[in-house]
Amino acid sequence: MIAYHFPPLAGSSGIQRTLRFVQHLPALGWQPIVLSADPRAYEQTSNDLMSDVPAGTVVNRAFALDTARHLNIKGRYLGWMARPDRWISWRFDAIRQGMQLIREHQPDVIWSTYPIATAHVIAQALHRKTGIPWVADFRDPMAQDGYPADPVTWRSYQRIEEEALTQASCSVFTTPGAARIYQERYPAAAAKVRVLENGYDEESFSTGHAKEPAPSVQAPGRPLVLLHSGIVYPSERDPTQLFEALSRLKAKATLKNGDILIRFRASVHDDLLTALANQYGVSEFIETAPSVPYRQALAEMLAVDALLVMQASNCNAQIPAKIYEYLRAGRPIIGLTDPVGDTAGVLRAAGLNSIARLDSADEIEALLPAFLEAVRNGAATLPTAAAVRQASRKGRSEALVQLLDGLSASA
């Protein structure tokens, strides 16, 4: 399993996908061997998830640098040193160590996971050298309209995804929309495209800080707490129209100081949120908060009054990984997203219909008061039990095993 996102990396929900597969696969008959990056390559580290890696798991960490932090001169670096991404230096030692692991353990399948494109570069080299079946886990689309913005980087993304779709035994995506995009883009490889959604880890909710929530009825004298947990991308999760809607509701006295507090936990872009709050005169409704260890983040989801999802229409084929943890938390959820996108589809499948377009202040202004009133009165709709059960990481691991078993049998 070739994965940049692996403990002790901190600050990304993307770490959960590989980590939970590593946890659940042994009980399902598969033993994972992990090839990751040296922790020096990570911008943030934390040991809070290291104990979740099963004892005895082989984890090799290949030499890697972050071009932006380690190879810059006065804050600048040459573009080719960061294509397809800032961790391209990882490929050299990773291919060497990968071959050593293959000789020692003779694995049945090579599995690599985006969003660090270099992982697919490493896997493609190992697959070419050995002929071992390769599963390219894309999660989300790579080369998109306008992303990456740099044309040379875009072409490198396009080349990597084409090699993966044509050479890998199977390409995996986390949403139906992303799978459709690639089936249409590479019709000859359409039969090799699979969907394997993200999920939540039940064990993490059942231990440590995470406890079941109290009934969702607002206590007198305190604001309703609406939580957005995770990164606020300036484009993909642009909250500008939310702040505009809050400003309108404040001007009409529909919302007053002390009615609501929207907490942005680990947004990465606190400056943007603070600037918008000041611009629209709604600072009393907004709180920015730093990142916390994973299980504390889950405990917070369980404790707040409601949860906020933001996903713009330019990400209709993507679903925030955090949404599955939201479902498990069992709190009311408001979705600011395109109603025809995959994120809205997940919410509706769980029985949740409090949805407004993220780029429409009008829709948010219309939706928010009714949603808050339902939460305040304990009448808000909660995710269905069936949807919660289906989203567990254990269930996702069982689906991965079916895929791996098929590849192993046909090799």
Cα-Cα-Cα-Cα torsion 377, 383, 386, 388, nearest 10 degrees, comes to -130
Give the chain's domain count.
2
- Judgement on whether residues 21 and 34 belong to the same structural domain of the protein: yes
Average pLDDT over residues 189-206: 92
pLDDT-based confidence at 220, cuts 50/70/90?
A: low
- Judgement on whether residues 170 and 212 belong to the same structural domain of the protein: no
Q: CA nearest 118: which of 52, 192, 36, 185?
A: 36
Predicted local confidence at residue 140, as pLDDT: 87
* Inter-helix orientation angle 118-130/90-105, to 10°: 40
Domain range holding 68? 15-199+392-410
**Cα 198 from Cα 327, distance rounded (Å):** 12
Predicted local confidence at residue 219, as pLDDT: 56
**Cα 408 from Cα 247, distance rounded (Å):** 57
Quote the Cα angle for 411-20-83, to 5°.
75
Whole-number CA gyration radius for the chain: 22
- Judgement on whether residues 253 and 158 belong to the same structural domain of the protein: no
Average pLDDT over residues 43-62: 94
* Inter-helix orientation angle 15-24/393-410, to 10°: 70
- Judgement on whether residues 148 and 245 belong to the same structural domain of the protein: no
Average pLDDT over residues 212-236: 77
pLDDT tens for 364-378 read 999 999 999 999 999
Average pLDDT over residues 350-364: 98
pLDDT-based confidence at 117, cuts 50/70/90?
A: very high
- Judgement on whether residues 168 and 133 belong to the same structural domain of the protein: yes
Predicted local confidence at residue 208, as pLDDT: 47
Domain membership of residue 7 (yes or no) is no
- Kindly report the average pLDDT of the chain as a whole number: 93
**Cα 141 from Cα 162, distance rounded (Å):** 12
**At residue 158, what is the residue type?**
Q
8 A C-beta contact, residue 306 and residue 375: yes
pLDDT tens for 161-174 read 999 999 999 999 99
- Judgement on whether residues 161 and 214 belong to the same structural domain of the protein: no
3-class secondary structure per residue, 116-142: CCHHHHHHHHHHHHHCCCEEEEEECCC
8 A C-beta contact, residue 179 and residue 193: yes
Domain membership of residue 294 (yes or no) is yes
pLDDT tens for 279-307 read 999 999 999 999 999 899 999 999 999 99
Domain membership of residue 3 (yes or no) is no
**Cα 226 from Cα 59, distance rounded (Å):** 38
Region of 75 on the Ramachandran plot (φ > 0 left; ψ -120 to 50 alpha; else beta): left
Average pLDDT over residues 56-65: 97
Domain membership of residue 137 (yes or no) is yes
Instruction: Using a pLDDT cut of 90, give the percent of the chain over it.
Output: 85
pLDDT at 39 over 90: yes
Count, residues in the chain: 411
- Judgement on whether residues 396 and 384 belong to the same structural domain of the protein: no
Q: CA nearest 210: which of 304, 332, 84?
A: 304
Residues contacting 189, CB < 8 A, separation 6+: 165, 166, 171, 182, 183
Predicted local confidence at residue 80, as pLDDT: 87
Domain membership of residue 5 (yes or no) is no
Domain membership of residue 49 (yes or no) is yes
- Judgement on whether residues 187 and 283 belong to the same structural domain of the protein: no
| Residue entry with tokens 């002790």 | 8
Predicted local confidence at residue 207, as pLDDT: 64
Bridge partner list, 308: 334
pLDDT at 213 over 50: no
- Judgement on whether residues 145 and 212 belong to the same structural domain of the protein: no
The tokens for 160 are: 């990597």
Beta strands in 63-192 (DSSP E): 110-113, 134-139, 170-173
8 A C-beta contact, residue 118 and residue 90: yes
Predicted local confidence at residue 214, as pLDDT: 45
Distance of CA 289 to the CA centre of its chain: 19
Higher pLDDT, 374 or 146: 374
Q: Residue 153 maps to which CATH number? A: 3.40.50.2000
In what side-by-side order are the strands of the sheet with 110-113? 110-113, 134-139, 170-173, 193-195
pLDDT at 209 over 70: no
The tokens for 320 are: 């925030």
- Judgement on whether residues 42 and 159 belong to the same structural domain of the protein: yes
Average pLDDT over residues 208-231: 69
- Judgement on whether residues 158 and 66 belong to the same structural domain of the protein: yes
Domain membership of residue 8 (yes or no) is no
Average pLDDT over residues 91-113: 98
Quote the Cα angle for 129-191-343, to 5°.
105
- Judgement on whether residues 146 and 277 belong to the same structural domain of the protein: no
Domain membership of residue 10 (yes or no) is no
**Pairing between strand 134-139 and 110-113?**
parallel
User: What are φ and ψ of residue 387, in 5° steps?
Assistant: -65, -35
Q: How far apart are the first and last CA of the chain?
A: 18
